[in-house]
Amino acid sequence: MSAEFAVERIRWLHKRIKDGYFPNAKRLAERFGISQRQAQRDVEYLRTELGAPLEFCRIRKGYRYSEPFELGASIEQADSDDYVELFAAAEAGEGDEAHQMSIPYTAVLEVSDKLAALGLGRFVKSRAGGSNRYNCEFHNVGFFLGALLAAEARITIVEPAWLRERLCKALERLAEANLTAENGENQ
């Protein structure tokens, strides 16, 4: 389990609670394809290690904060086992990788399909310029690009150029590998 994935889970859980959605361990497990046991550990970590004032709402069957709470700028971890290497690096003064994880990437997308834009809602922070343009924020490049592909819509990465180039290169590698496999099957 990568530390970046654990951070993504904690951030998602925190944001959903702040946005008033009452997430629970089952939803967390479904969302990230993890066991309910791991999801419950993530919830407990948020409560015990990060000091979140979590309470379970029986009516809504999910968690909420009993008072205002914000995650700190430091590493927010879901399971300390996921972060052993990051803490060791931070204590050794090599914390760049760990701190970069808490700084979000940003992008401007042009999305022609409004349903696709709605599907990208967890990344969309605001409208940008034109009616089809959106300011997006994300913490994991691969996860974000995967979400763009899963949207199955006409989406243009307006900026940054490096993200557009990374997507194009990944698609070229994928297409090349599949064409090679297809040619091998036809022989």
Question: Going residue by residue through the chain (187 aa), what tens digit of pLDDT does each one get?
Answer: 455 678 889 889 999 999 999 999 999 999 888 899 999 999 998 898 888 999 999 999 999 999 998 876 443 333 344 444 444 444 454 444 433 344 578 899 999 888 888 888 888 888 887 778 999 988 788 888 888 988 888 999 999 999 999 999 989 998 999 888 777 776 6
Of 66, 100, 134, the last residue of a domain is 100
What is the model's pLDDT at position 59?
95
In angstroms, the CA 97 to CA 90 distance is 9
pLDDT at 126: 87
Looking at the fold, whether 93 and 126 belong to one and the same domain comes out as: no
Query: In Å, how far are 13, 31, 93, 97, 174 from 89, measured between CA atoms?
Result: 26, 29, 6, 8, 34
On whether both 13 and 96 belong to a single domain, the answer is yes
pTM of the model: 0.46
Lookup: tokens for 40: 């419950």
For 68, the domain range is 3-100
Q: Are residues 61 and 119 in the same domain?
A: no
Whether the CA torsion 53, 85, 32, 176 is positive or negative: it is positive
Residues 83 and 116 in one domain: no
Angle 94-100-105 (CA atoms, 0-180°, nearest 5)?
165
Q: Which two tokens stand for residue 183?
A: 């040619």
- Tokens at residue 127, please? 């409208």
DSSP, res 91: H
Asked if 96 and 121 sit in the same domain, the reply is: no
How many whole angstroms separate alpha carbon 146 and alpha carbon 139? 13
Tokens linked to 129:
């310029």
Both 29 and 62 in one domain: the answer is yes
Residues 116 and 157 in one domain: yes
Please check whether residues 60 and 13 belong to one and the same domain.
Answer: yes
In this structure, are residues 86 and 107 in contact, taking their beta carbons and an 8 Å threshold? no
Structure tokens at 29: 């497990």
Q: Residue 93 and residue 76: Cα distance in Å, rounded?
A: 18
pLDDT of residue 118: 82
Does residue 130 share a domain with residue 83? no
Q: Which of 71, 100, 129 is at the close of a domain?
A: 100
